[in-house]
Structure 1
């Protein structure tokens, strides 16, 4: 009897393994959708489309980007979380969706820690740039700090409050440098940059891509970068933490799927993303956005990275007394 039961279990195990192999070999058999929580043209969208165009060649099926903008990415993340874990829906998301939304909203229609399967890192170097209107009489971060303290309550800074991480790092800098700058919130990056360029607001915290045009036009001057180290394409630009220790922030992009995504599909997609990120062309394109990558990593390392970031942003929210809305 024991031999019969043992043989039965062995047969089931073989069938299960064969089924797993067949599943791995048959995927993908139809187009794949990648949900993006921003509108067309945003950095997240551009990167997702570049990735989709690359990985679809390796997968042998179209990879279609679907923009689901609005509600600070809540709709896109909810829809991705509720998708079937069959390998045909992925989410190309960022710092906001998985790390700052949990400290910005009292409740979310998705659980950032449980509703997703980490697949691959895309970008792990996405800092903010601290800049000033070109007419402000400072040319370095120490000079800005001295100028602000000599003119208490007179300086303000512009920040896109829809950008998730940007307002938090701006507030952290303002607090730790004890500057007393007045925050001017914007919900449009283009209007924000235009107002700084025209002198309506003197100080700006933004992505490099957002301010690049006005920097090149000579209307905005960069002072420092929020990353923990200098950005190789801009080696002359110091990190904020060289002057104000501990003020660091790197935005990031990751690819995830719904919870329960089969491991073989996760590994396959991770490999394809890894190949995409190895190309010189994509590294140059990233540099143009003020971004850089260390590669796709592994699904496990991606999950560990997300968990560390979630804890980091919770700690910052507590320090800054940020009340979820």
Structure 2
């Protein structure tokens, strides 16, 4: 990061002054010890690097900016990222484009972003899975969520999971489902997309804390899980709001609750799960981060542009249709705080469920 103090900025003239000052260099080849000479050259390189970084921050951006997305095209994450890229491109004056890197629980996308140049031209559209769930699910990751990234902006502060049931199941509330499942222990199954992370944890926590005895059925695709619940193969489902929208609208699946700490703005009549089963709160988040070491001036400018877009007309309504909600971009500091809080929460979930990293 570049210095943030109010001291005079480094310039080429000040650099030259340092190189001729007795304090920074020796008088002659003969009187300069080898160690001091090496330290002098290292310091000179560091100063030159700082000046180059400062110059880059002052002129940034001069070329297109890549936004890496850890899902394939068409997913809610991808759609949201493209909305951001389109909006920021208009105000920033340079194009921001999406590069999809799906698969492997988002690991490839996060590793690629973590290893990218720290010049502000590579960003990552990250989420709960990549920053909080992967660290408790895998023994080894090729990236460190804490050290390898610098928070830029919070895109969505609410992206909960949703509990729903087949429309033919004779229940209309969470309380009704709990009573029915306990009376039919072992006869009902709950489906979830195991690759999504949050859905799996939500299903397992609900099953355990409410003592339901549901048979847990993991899927590799949210689309297949929703279709099987709609057809009655499984009776209960934990999924994102967007994943279940089509079957809900078709009248084949009934919504019961969301996992967020507060009711979802787009579905104000739908209760939060914790209103019936305290302890299950999964808000979810989406954020944009940069490789650690990206200039603070660049991060600040990106934050302003993202927040400006999120504050625009109709943006919230478009997000609600994706099962997401925003309170604006926040600040880089508040975004980092949200990520740390989510990481702590998911470590607690893993402990409760005795999850062992694989």
Same fold (TM over 0.5): yes
Q: Which residue of 2 aligns with 1:309?
A: 342
Q: Which residue of 2 aligns with 1:175?
A: 208
Q: Which residue of 2 aligns with 1:262?
A: 295
User: How far, CA to CA, are the matches of 2:183 and 2:313 in structure 1?
Assistant: 46
Is the CA contact 2:53–2:295 (under 8 Å) kept in the aligned structure 1?
A: no
Q: Which residue of 1 aligns with 2:194?
A: 161
Which structure: larger Rg? 2
2:181 to 144, 148, 151: 148
1:136 aligned onto 2:169? yes
SS of equivalent to 1:65: strand
User: How far, CA to CA, are the matches of 1:38 and 1:290 in structure 2?
Assistant: 17
Deviation string, structure 1 residues 148-194 (Cα, Å, up to 9, x no partner): 11111111100000001111121111111111111100011111100
- State the Cα distance separating 1:24 from its structure 2 match: 3.1
Structure 1: which 5+ runs fail to align?
Answer: 1-6
Q: Which residue of 1 aligns with 2:31?
A: none
1:68 aligned onto 2:101? yes
SS of equivalent to 2:229: helix
Deviation string, structure 1 residues 84-131 (Cα, Å, up to 9, x no partner): 000000000111000000011111011111000110000010011100
- State the Cα distance separating 1:13 from its structure 2 match: 8.0
User: How far, CA to CA, are the matches of 1:206 and 1:130 in structure 2?
Assistant: 7
SS of equivalent to 2:156: strand
Q: Which residue of 1 aligns with 2:14?
A: 12
1:234 aligned onto 2:287? no
Count of residues in correspondence between the two structures:
318
SS of equivalent to 1:224: strand
Is the CA contact 2:265–2:325 (under 8 Å) kept in the aligned structure 1?
A: no
Consecutive aligned runs of 4 or more in structure 1 exceeding 2 Å deviation: 9-25
User: How far, CA to CA, are the matches of 2:112 and 2:134 in structure 1?
Assistant: 16
1:243 aligned onto 2:276? yes
- State the Cα distance separating 1:22 from its structure 2 match: 4.0
2:322 to 266, 285, 289: 289
Is the CA contact 2:56–2:119 (under 8 Å) kept in the aligned structure 1?
A: no
Deviation string, structure 1 residues 242-301 (Cα, Å, up to 9, x no partner): 111111101110000101010000000000000010013211110101110111111011
CA RMSD of aligned residues (A): 1.9
SS of equivalent to 1:53: helix
Q: Which residue of 2 aligns with 1:253?
A: 286
- State the Cα distance separating 1:198 from its structure 2 match: 0.2
Q: Which residue of 2 aligns with 1:4?
A: none
Deviates more, 1:163-172 or 1:118-127: 163-172
User: How far, CA to CA, are the matches of 1:92 and 1:269 in structure 2?
Assistant: 13
- State the Cα distance separating 1:20 from its structure 2 match: 6.5
Deviates more, 1:231-240 or 1:81-90: 231-240
TM-score, normalising length: structure 1: 0.94
- State the Cα distance separating 1:12 from its structure 2 match: 2.9
1:37 to 70, 91, 111: 70
User: How far, CA to CA, are the matches of 2:308 and 2:15 in structure 1?
Assistant: 33
Is the CA contact 2:68–2:124 (under 8 Å) kept in the aligned structure 1?
A: yes
User: How far, CA to CA, are the matches of 2:16 and 2:100 in structure 1?
Assistant: 42
User: How far, CA to CA, are the matches of 2:308 and 2:268 in structure 1?
Assistant: 27
User: How far, CA to CA, are the matches of 1:152 and 1:298 in structure 2?
Assistant: 48
Is the CA contact 2:57–2:297 (under 8 Å) kept in the aligned structure 1?
A: yes
- State the Cα distance separating 1:21 from its structure 2 match: 6.0
1:81 aligned onto 2:83? no
User: How far, CA to CA, are the matches of 2:136 and 2:157 in structure 1?
Assistant: 20
SS of equivalent to 2:158: strand
Pick closer, same or farther for the CA change 1:243–1:13 going to 2, 3 Å.
Answer: farther
